Chains A and B, each alone.
Chain A
């Protein structure tokens, strides 16, 4: 039973990937015994399963994901959060306020105000309602410093790298504190603006070259080169 592309070849929506008894994986669909791609991406053939690693896709909430979002509205029951997804996230007041919540007395905006950034976890989500968030776990809550950048959510795994190898390199070389949201938002906080920008550059490079190989080495090299340049400029100024 035939497949029609080389592994990791770029495919486009409507490309026929396989014909026959294959299981449709991510970003594919089955029609009349044929499997087609639904998004632009790299095709993966794994035994009987065919999937496409999308080169560009928006984030769809998944229970258990950690996301970074911005408070856009405060209602009687809690906060509405823009999580860079088709649906807004909901953070209930009861998630944050320990005792019973009194709408008249408790001022939610003093906890999180419109415009604040938070890092939260998705605890519930299905087709009939917007995703429900929590900030109860350690490491979650308001983000008070740093720069936020938005990258294609499908690239987050590449930025983390195998067993966190890639992100560790970036953190080490730039000395930045970095928080990654599965929804494509990344918080970077460095000791100074230059370090932060270096980390941003590294992340952007990974984003645009994510489908190539040897990326880890190239990123490490780029960071080392940029730091040398910085060192030279500094020496020249002294």
Chain B
């Protein structure tokens, strides 16, 4: 894979995609995009295009996996073969399996699983196009799919990454920044409960840099949280607006 020529940041601190260090990629979210799934949502964040769908709660199959006191959350993070520069095999990679696990663990705390014993809730995240930070965008869009499916939640879960690129702390790393930067810290958060439900890091940061990075990621999360709420409200407000136009 050819390496990007030139620096990731220019002398004014502007990143290769034109963003300032603390700027999120342009993000667009839509809820309720698939007719078959019980709940669904779609996100575009920079060049990321990610679809999430939820089925359930329904009877857990196979039955021996069912839990007597709560619903079983299953999550599959998967990348389409054409989503990355070099075609990726459709078989789940070790990374896909790890991400499926951490994403599930990021969302589980928000769901009232104990309301639906012996059932399962199946969550599917499909990355149609990938450009860095897909696990965060995946959490953000999956939480909306759960809300769209009418599954009761304690709060929406939102995720964003921060990191270090050429000595500068930045928000929402794209693929080039992630690959060539010094550190990447993805974080998922439930704002109401001050709950960090996903936290990973690779690279190298002093504790002081790490503290700044997670606070920066939190800022990104708060902005995306507002976009999540807007996306949910928009679905139900447009009808009211049509009505006003008629009269």
Contact (A10, B153) CB under 8 Å given A40-B147, A86-B59, A209-B243: no
Which residue of chain B has the shortest Cβ distance to A28 in the bound complex? B152
Which residue of chain B has the shortest Cβ distance to A129 in the bound complex? B118
Is the C-beta of B89 less than 8 angstroms from some C-beta in chain A? no
- Do B192 and A16 touch across chains, with their CB atoms under 8 A apart? yes
- Do A12 and B233 touch across chains, with their CB atoms under 8 A apart? yes
Q: Which residues of B contact A40 (CB under 8 A)?
A: 147-148, 150, 232-233, 235-236
Contact (A29, B236) CB under 8 Å given A86-B58, A87-B59, A87-B119: no
- Do A31 and B150 touch across chains, with their CB atoms under 8 A apart? no
A226 CA / B165 CA spacing, docked (Å): 63
Q: Which residues of A contact B58 (CB under 8 A)?
A: 86
Partner of B239, one of A31, A39, A57, A212: A212
Is the C-beta of B81 less than 8 angstroms from some C-beta in chain A? no
CB-defined interface of A46-82 with B at 8 Å, one 1/0 digit per residue? 0000000011111000000000000000000000000
Chain B contacts with A in 29-68, Cβ cutoff 8 A: 38-39, 56-59, 68
Partner of B240, one of A58, A87, A212: A212
Chain B contacts with A in 171-215, Cβ cutoff 8 A: 190-193
Partner of B193, one of A10, A12, A31, A38: A31
A58 CA / B148 CA spacing, docked (Å): 11
Contact (A58, B239) CB under 8 Å given A13-B152, A13-B154, A86-B119: no
Is the C-beta of B237 less than 8 angstroms from some C-beta in chain A? yes
Is the C-beta of B112 less than 8 angstroms from some C-beta in chain A? yes
CB-defined interface of A161-176 with B at 8 Å, one 1/0 digit per residue? 0000000000000000
Q: Which residues of B contact A127 (CB under 8 A)?
A: 117
Q: Which residues of A contact B237 (CB under 8 A)?
A: 10
- Do B147 and A12 touch across chains, with their CB atoms under 8 A apart? yes
- Do B147 and A39 touch across chains, with their CB atoms under 8 A apart? yes
- Do B156 and A14 touch across chains, with their CB atoms under 8 A apart? yes
Is the C-beta of A208 less than 8 angstroms from some C-beta in chain B? yes
Q: Apart from A13-B147, A40-B147, what 4 extra A-B contacts exist at CB < 8 Å?
A: A38-B112, A39-B152, A86-B56, A86-B58
